[in-house]
């Protein structure tokens, strides 16, 4: 798959776009002025793999908190770039709080709500000038929930004169793209180069989001931040996001991604980071931790032993990832581990994986065969706990022998 050529943008300690890995980002969901809680959540998100973290900056309290959040994060060894999310009053806050403007690594500007009429251009210009003064990049982030109504009206009027050749939905998508492209042009005219501009055009409907980014990718060379906005909760939110992101990423479109998941009450915000990472890993675009291949099970493996072992190995691989990284093992993130339920596909999948366990199905000999690099290396026996223990030892050995520094 050929990646779309985009102009790289340096954001704090990472670079988005160009040939750089597709970056994962996320956003906090607590009051920014709560410095302690913000620092804690930014660290959690960064530890989970978020390479940029956005915080809302909606008022004086939030703007005042940003420099302290940044300071405490750096003191605690967390260098993740921070993005300020501005709506309505960003021009005022960025000018009133220069330390906030300096502490942030990027500003998100929403052209749909920077102001109206004459104020719109003035406010937009004020934000871009702060970015230039502080040598910071921006994201021009249009969103169909807060679309620039002036652009929309103009396109609707043109369409009416043109016998309504396009549907209202098509005009909304066109308006998103026009708003983004015109804003890039304006920012360039004010003096901000494309090396400082990331762009996004988020929609909550997957097909609309795909169309908007396809059009946008043809109309600019800027690095693109992808997201299905307001994806929803749980399985729906995860699949909705995955569907939208995957189609675009497979076409080579997208330099950074976010999963906009509504968290279930009490659930960690890091869920959205895990989904984004899994999308990239499932597409083979990035590798974060070893993956497990396990069959769905069927009438040939009705016991829970197979399910328990698959779960145990999954957890084991997640736990071990940071330890193996710290020990300096190289390339283990691409390792494939199979846990299979019976003889039908078990030996085949286990041989294809780096290391695999082919369990006995109902009525088969109670032998669990281990394959490594396509060859049978051991036969294990026992219950789920014993088999997990033996198999994890063999995985450890495999990592030490295949991925040492
Ligand atoms: S490998 Fe065996 S247990 Fe697993 S789904 Fe296939 S037939 Fe069923």
Rounded to whole angstroms, the Cα distance separating 360 from 312 reads: 17
Beta bridge partners of 358: 340, 369
Probe residue for ligand 1, chosen from 292, 298, 352 as the CB with the greatest number of ligand atoms within 8 Å: 298
Rounded to whole angstroms, the Cα distance separating 239 from 260 reads: 11
CA of 93 to the centre of ligand 1 (A): 59
* Enclosing H/E stretch for 44: helix 35-48
Ligand 1, closest atom to CA 345?
Answer: 1
Answer whether 297 contacts ligand 1 (Cβ < 6 A).
yes
Answer whether 357 contacts ligand 1 (Cβ < 6 A).
no
Answer whether 340 contacts ligand 1 (Cβ < 6 A).
yes
Give tens-digit pLDDT for 316-336.
999 999 999 999 999 999 999
CATH class of segment(s) 9-282? alpha beta
Q: Where are the domains of the chain?
A: 9-282, 291-402
Answer whether 362 contacts ligand 1 (Cβ < 6 A).
no
Q: Whose CA is nearest to atom 1 of ligand 1?
A: 345
pTM reported for the whole predicted model = 0.94
Q: Whose CA is nearest to atom 2 of ligand 1?
A: 342
Probe residue for ligand 1, chosen from 294, 302, 306, 346 as the CB with the greatest number of ligand atoms within 8 Å: 346
Probe residue for ligand 1, chosen from 342, 352, 364, 369 as the CB with the greatest number of ligand atoms within 8 Å: 342
Q: 338 exposed, middle or buried (CB, 10 Å; 0-12, 13-18, 19+)?
A: buried
C-alpha separations of 368 from 145, 162, 340, 342, 396 in Å? 54, 70, 10, 9, 18
CA of 350 to the centre of ligand 1 (A): 12
Degrees, nearest 5: CA angle 100-101-106: 115
What is the CATH topology of the domain spanning 291-402? Sulfite Reductase Hemoprotein; domain 1 (3.30.413)
What is residue 236's predicted lDDT score, i.e. its pLDDT?
Answer: 94
Answer whether 361 contacts ligand 1 (Cβ < 6 A).
yes
CA of 275 to the centre of ligand 1 (A): 26
pLDDT, averaged per 10 consecutive residues of the chain (405 residues), comes to: 95 97 97 98 97 98 98 98 97 98 98 90 97 98 93 95 94 96 98 98 96 98 95 92 97 97 92 97 96 92 87 95 94 96 94 96 89 97 94 97 90
Q: Whose CA is nearest to atom 7 of ligand 1?
A: 344
CA of 246 to the centre of ligand 1 (A): 28
What is residue 116's predicted lDDT score, i.e. its pLDDT?
Answer: 85
What is residue 235's predicted lDDT score, i.e. its pLDDT?
Answer: 93
Residue entry with tokens 């022998």:
401
């Amino acid at each position: 798959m050929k990646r779309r050529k985009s102009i790289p943008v340096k954001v704090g300690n990472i670079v988005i776009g160009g040939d750089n890995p597709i970056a994962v980002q996320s956003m906090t969901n607590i009051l920014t002025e709560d410095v302690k809680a913000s620092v804690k959540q930014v660290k959690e998100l960064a530890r989970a793999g978020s390479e940029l973290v956005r915080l809302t900056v909606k008022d004086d309290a939030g703007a005042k908190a940003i420099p302290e959040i940044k300071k405490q994060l750096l003191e605690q060894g967390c260098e993740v770039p921070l993005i300020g999310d501005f709506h309505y009053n960003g021009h005022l806050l960025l000018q009133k709080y220069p330390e906030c403007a300096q502490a942030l690594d990027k500003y998100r500007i929403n052209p749909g709500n920077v102001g109206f009429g004459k104020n719109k251009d003035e406010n937009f210009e004020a934000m871009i000038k702060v970015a230039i003064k502080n040598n910071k990049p921006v994201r021009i982030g249009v969103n169909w929930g807060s679309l620039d109504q002036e652009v929309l009206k103009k396109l609707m009027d043109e369409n009416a004169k043109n016998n309504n050749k396009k549907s209202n939905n098509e005009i909304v998508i066109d308006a998103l793209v026009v708003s983004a492209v015109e804003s890039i042009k304006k920012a360039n005219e004010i003096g901000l180069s494309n090396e400082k501009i990331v762009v996004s055009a988020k929609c909550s409907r997957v097909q609309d989001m795909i169309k908007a980014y396809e059009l946008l990718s043809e109309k600019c060379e800027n690095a693109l931040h992808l997201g299905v906005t307001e994806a929803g909760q749980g399985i729906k939110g995860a699949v909705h996001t995955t569907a939208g992101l995957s189609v675009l990423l497979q076409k080579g479109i997208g330099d950074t991604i976010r999963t906009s998941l509504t968290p279930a009450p009490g659930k960690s915000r890091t869920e959205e980071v895990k989904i984004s990472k899994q999308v990239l890993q499932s597409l083979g675009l990035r590798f974060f931790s070893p993956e497990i291949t396990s069959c769905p099970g069927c009438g040939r493996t009705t016991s829970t032993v197979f399910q328990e072992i698959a779960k145990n190995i999954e957890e084991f691989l997640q736990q071990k990832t940071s330890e193996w990284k710290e020990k300096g093992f190289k390339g283990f993130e691409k390792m494939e581990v199979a846990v299979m339920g019976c003889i039908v596909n078990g030996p085949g999948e286990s041989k294809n994986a780096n290391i695999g366990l082919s369990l006995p199905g109902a009525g088969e000999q109670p032998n669990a065969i281990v394959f490594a690099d396509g060859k049978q290396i051991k036969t294990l026996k026992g219950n789920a706990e014993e088999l997990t223990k033996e198999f994890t030892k063999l995985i450890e050995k495999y990592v030490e022998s295949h991925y040492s520094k």
